[in-house]
Amino acid sequence: MTTTTISHTVYQQRRIRVAQWLKAHGGGIAVLPTAPEASRNRDNDYSYRPDSYFYYLSGFTEPGAWLIIDDTGHSTLFCRAKNPDQEVWTGYRLGPDAAPEALAVDTAYPVEELDQQIPQLLANQPAVWFPFATHTGLEAQITNWLKDVRALVRTGVSCPQAQYDLCAVLDEMRLIKDAHEIELMRRAGEISALGHMRAMQKCAQMMRAGEDVREYHLEAELLHEFCRHGAQDVAFNSIVAGGANACILHYRAGKAAIHSGDLVLIDAGGEYGCYAGDISRTFPANGRFSGPQRTLYDLVQAAQEAAIAVTAPGATFNDPHDTALRTLSQGMLDLGLLKKDTYGSVDDVIEQRAYFRFYMHRTSHWLGMDVHDCGSYVEPETEPTAHHDAKTGKTTHIRPSRILRPGMALTMEPGIYVQAADDIPAEFHNIGIRIEDDALVTENGCELLTRKAPVKADEIEALMR
């Protein structure tokens, strides 16, 4: 990856917000490394992707970098020095001389000077802030630097007396997307939708031509379309599951054959500008839903539409899930997946978690730079209340669900997964369905960022024709 060409004012403004937070909470200095390079196998690294927190505050994509922000707003970058001999092999480096102008940071040093400079930056600071439990060895490195500072106390230097988790600051910032982030997420959603559409069409074309269709064939179509439209990578490993494989939630695309009459479940998204798209679509391999497939598909779509309808400012994060769950549970009773004489009403199904056999995941998660993005799912600074789980018999104490606000982004992904069993109507055996879109909470409701890819069964069939 290369450094983005956009104005770095947006990153500078974010750093100022961090400095203001530090100032308002007793002062101090924030220390933030980027992600390390990772070896894939001998003499070969995985494709590099910067740490999300680091990139959010810097817009810098090179490995081996550190960012320091103090409570005055002064920012210092440590990055790899220019090295023409190495750059011939591994690519261009920005270097510390060019970094201040290019990245709008105040000061930059070669990363080789990190151990020399950091203790000086920590000296006389009341506290040090860094992301807890995110970088292996970071806590020990901070401790060693503090030892160097403490060794200077006889000269009148004071050592930071407290350590705080920087994630607590950045998670709240990243939870509400700014205009720049929303622009990137719209593009990531559009690219992801184009990939799903290509996979649907290619599957039907290969089926009509009598060709062998494998899950990895469709994964290749996704990757082709993502990259063709500017995605830097996939946002996560693509799920491409044909037939009964769709009942495995995190199934990886493999070499399994896809047969006419199968449903294909794809959960995949491209990453654009370090922001994730995340779409699930389920479609008939041959382009036509069977009766039982259509029945279950329409149920899941109804659950998704119900969830979308309640996603608005003032609702809670749990509201889309609770609404989708009620729709799905009623459908399970109506279709005989759950016996009414055993479970009774939809309220009984939910209370006893009888639905869990067919729907075992949540309807939403936060979305942003990470496909399962950061941010608390409960309302901060609220008192926990007791909650009894009828399935486990345990009582837990939880805080109220997070209140949705404009700028939050979350997925809408209900599903149903019916494995073969003697007590299940045979026509529903081995059908797995998930429908997922990315929703941005707006002033009046929510905007779906991924609806370029069709959702309604009739529209999917039309596209595949």
The closest of 311, 323, 322 to 409, measured between CA atoms, is: 311
Residue 108 CA to residue 122 CA, distance in Å, equals: 16
User: With contact defined as beta carbons under 8 Å apart, do 436 and 280 qualify?
Assistant: yes
Choice among 51, 215, 267, 319 that is catalytic: 267
Residue 30's φ and ψ, nearest 5 degrees, are -105, 135
Q: What is the DSSP letter of 284?
A: E
Q: Give the contacts of 279 (CB within 8 A, at least 6 positions apart).
A: 189, 192, 193, 196, 266, 267, 268, 269, 436, 437, 438, 450, 453
Instruction: Decide if 267 is catalytic.
Output: yes
Choice among 71, 181, 215, 278 that is catalytic: 278
User: With contact defined as beta carbons under 8 Å apart, do 130 and 142 qualify?
Assistant: yes
Instruction: Decide if 436 is catalytic.
Output: yes
CB atoms within 10 A of CB 429: 14
Choice among 252, 288, 357, 365 that is catalytic: 365
Residue 169's φ and ψ, nearest 5 degrees, are -75, -50
Q: What is the DSSP letter of 290?
A: -
Instruction: Decide if 362 is catalytic.
Output: no
Instruction: Decide if 298 is catalytic.
Output: no
257 by DSSP, 3-state: which? strand
Instruction: Decide if 365 is catalytic.
Output: yes
Residue 242 CA to residue 432 CA, distance in Å, equals: 9
Choice among 208, 228, 259, 372 that is catalytic: 372
Choice among 70, 181, 221, 436 that is catalytic: 436
User: Tokens 């505050």 — which residue?
Assistant: 57
Instruction: Decide if 372 is catalytic.
Output: yes
DSSP one-letter string for 304-317 = HHHHHHT-STTSBT
Beta bridge partners of 220: none
User: With contact defined as beta carbons under 8 Å apart, do 266 and 281 qualify?
Assistant: yes
Residue 21 CA to residue 28 CA, distance in Å, equals: 10
Choice among 208, 228, 250, 405 that is catalytic: 250
Choice among 43, 212, 383, 422 that is catalytic: 43
Choice among 413, 437, 438, 461 that is catalytic: 413
CB atoms within 10 A of CB 135: 18
Instruction: Decide if 361 is catalytic.
Output: yes
Instruction: Decide if 43 is catalytic.
Output: yes
Choice among 11, 417, 437, 438 that is catalytic: 417
CB atoms within 10 A of CB 390: 12
Distance, CA of 436 to chain centre: 13
Residue 176's φ and ψ, nearest 5 degrees, are -100, 115
Largest CA distance in the chain: 82
Instruction: Decide if 250 is catalytic.
Output: yes
* Residues catalogued as catalytic: 43, 250, 267, 278, 361, 365, 372, 413, 417, 434, 436
